Structure 1
Amino acid sequence: DILEGRRFEDGICLVTFKVDVHKLKSDDTTDCNRGYHTQPYHIPFRCLVPKKCNNLLLAGRCISGDFYPHASYRVMGNMTATGEACGFAAAVCVRESLSPKAFDGRRAKAFMAERGYTL
């Protein structure tokens, strides 16, 4: 997804930060991008909804993702966006008596676009 710049119908933010892996060992001389050259990509809303927990949304660095994408999306602007999307979804879920799993992530995408996020 990060290498191809994937966009999703429930994408809540556009990540433009490169892969930035800090040294894994003290003698590590590998380039911090580890050879990964990303294209701008979406964080889908579904990454904020844990599979095995009900009535929970995740924001920030604990969203669902693999090691290398995490090394790209973990910066403040992207993590702020996940928090805003979670807050919006939580409010809608309470107001409409929905579980987060039943919430349509496209609504969060529309909200984020309305807030001025580039998607």
Structure 2
Amino acid sequence: ALLGDSGGQNWSTGTMDKYGRLDRELQLANSHFIEEQQAQQQLIVEQQDEQLELVSGSIGVLKNMSQRIGGELEEQAVMLDDFSHELESTQSRLDNVMKKLAKVSHMTS
């Protein structure tokens, strides 16, 4: 009870009933408050779960896109490397042609 026996003092039955009723009302009000808070917290948790599901889906999409971009970059890196080797080969051949032209030009002068 809210108020207990205070050192042997006698309370009338009406006063005890009054405090007992008040104690029960307070306990009931507290129980309702706790239930409402638990329900609100459960709703918040469910909403957060839904939002996390959406975020998880978005992360999956971004992961897929980044993997595809990474694959594309690897392919382009190989293509650029091949192109660089072709340019070096072409430059070397062009240098040889220019040397031969210089010799021919020098011989005819």
TM-score under structure 1 length normalisation: 0.23
Structure with more of its chain in helix, by fraction: 2
Q: Which has the higher contact order (CA 8 A, sep 6+)?
A: 1
Larger Cα Rg: Structure 1 or Structure 2?
Answer: 2
